[in-house]
């Protein structure tokens, strides 16, 4: 009998404003980027999980690890939680590929998690809503990073411009639709250690609680102004706000010499705004420039990877369903 194979994909993230502060009650603003991860899901016998990617192979049968891979083991745990939530008794095989640089601050883990969740959704005809898919991806993120924002998951699930705000004790994510923002991304070549950077900001808070609170409040104001700027398509003001945000992130201790080198090179080359994207410490810098392709080429002198980044109008989507 032919097996069903469901392929799904999901975009990545450019974090415009509000990273780190979003974990302390500030809103955040991000863009869904059309560099995508893919997952092809198929059924296995009950209790059997197999995951293959460029990171290696992870496999377990009835809870016993047959082939271990630390990174993929976290995906396996997220997958099992997803299967349990929807009372799926079958095992699953996943084949994962990704165009998103790992540890880049582009939410590669959320992109992969959204592709996995969407492919499992299609495999078992769950008909998940985007809100249900978002919660599934967010569960993966908490396993991978511990304390996590919904920003990356929302970029991966919804597409377009992503607005994150707090309502009571929960983060709420909304897509503001598509806006044209000419972006270039440039990566340092060193990974962004998300857990370490989150811990660094927490230590800052414990050492300087009043200063931390003041910085978070200032970032909140920047993000709110940034939302108004992108809605009015005022890219010059948005860029200036990105530069201000970068100063606050530097103060929190999550920038680096490599990040600053890219940021200042981009500004000298005419960027309207340049800042780190995501957790920091390494990873990528996002810049607004009237000619992103030209800027990306120029930034190759100070980065390992640089490219123009287009905004994805679609979030997680089914790509194909085949039987073989």
Per-residue pLDDT tens for 134-179?
A: 999 999 999 988 777 899 999 999 999 999 999 988 889 999 988 8
pLDDT of 94: 97
Q: In what order do the strands lie in the sheet with 305-309?
A: 273-277, 284-288, 183-187, 305-309
Contacts of 155 (CB under 8 A, 6+ apart): 11, 12, 13, 30, 31, 32, 33, 107, 110, 111, 162, 315
pLDDT of 105: 82
**Token pair recorded at residue 136:** 């599934």
pLDDT of 25: 94
Nearest CA-CA partner of 31 in 48, 23, 19, 46: 19
- Domains identified in the chain and CATH numbers: 4-178+312-323 (3.30.230.10), 183-308 (3.30.70.890)
**Token pair recorded at residue 184:** 């270039």
- pLDDT single digits (tens) 18-41: 999 999 999 999 999 999 999 999
- As a whole number, mean pLDDT of residues 97-117 equals 91
pTM of the model: 0.91
230: left (phi over 0), alpha (psi -120 to 50) or beta: alpha
- As a whole number, mean pLDDT of residues 122-138 equals 95
């Amino acid at each position: 009998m032919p097996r069903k194979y469901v392929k799904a994909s999901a975009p990545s993230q450019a974090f415009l404003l509000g990273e780190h502060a979003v974990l302390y009650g500030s809103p955040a603003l991000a863009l869904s980027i059309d560099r995508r991860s893919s997952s092809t899901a198929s059924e296995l016998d009950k209790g059997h999980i197999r995951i293959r990617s460029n990171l290696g192979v992870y496999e377990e049968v009835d809870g016993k690890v047959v082939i271990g891979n630390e990174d993929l083991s976290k995906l396996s745990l997220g997958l099992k939680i997803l299967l349990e939530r929807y009372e799926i008794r079958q095992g699953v095989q996943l084949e994962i590929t990704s165009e998103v640089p790992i540890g880049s601050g582009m939410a590669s883990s959320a992109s992969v998690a959204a592709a996995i969740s969407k492919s499992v959704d299609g495999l078992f005809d769950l008909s998940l809503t985007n809100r249900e898919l978002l919660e599934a991806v967010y569960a993966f993120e908490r396993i991978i990073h511990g304390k996590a924002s919904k920003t990356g998951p929302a970029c991966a699930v919804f597409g377009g411009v992503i607005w994150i705000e707090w309502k009571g004790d929960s983060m709420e994510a909304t897509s503001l639709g598509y806006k044209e923002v000419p972006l270039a991304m440039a990566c340092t070549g060193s990974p962004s250690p998300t857990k370490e950077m989150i811990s660094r900001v927490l230590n800052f808070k414990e050492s300087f609680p009043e200063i931390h609170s003041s910085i978070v409040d200032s970032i909140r104001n920047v993000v709110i102004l940034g939302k108004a700027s992108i809605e009015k398509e005022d890219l010059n003001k948005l860029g200036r706000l990105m530069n201000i945000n970068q100063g606050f992130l530097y103060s929190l201790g999550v920038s680096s010499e490599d990040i600053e080198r890219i940021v200042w090179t981009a500004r000298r080359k005419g960027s309207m705004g340049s800042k780190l994207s995501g957790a920091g410490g390494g990873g990528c810098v996002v810049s607004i420039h009237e000619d992103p392709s030209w800027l990306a080429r120029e930034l190759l002198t100070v980065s390992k990877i640089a490219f123009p980044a287009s905004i994805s109008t679609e979030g997680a989507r089914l790509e194909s369903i085949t039987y073989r």
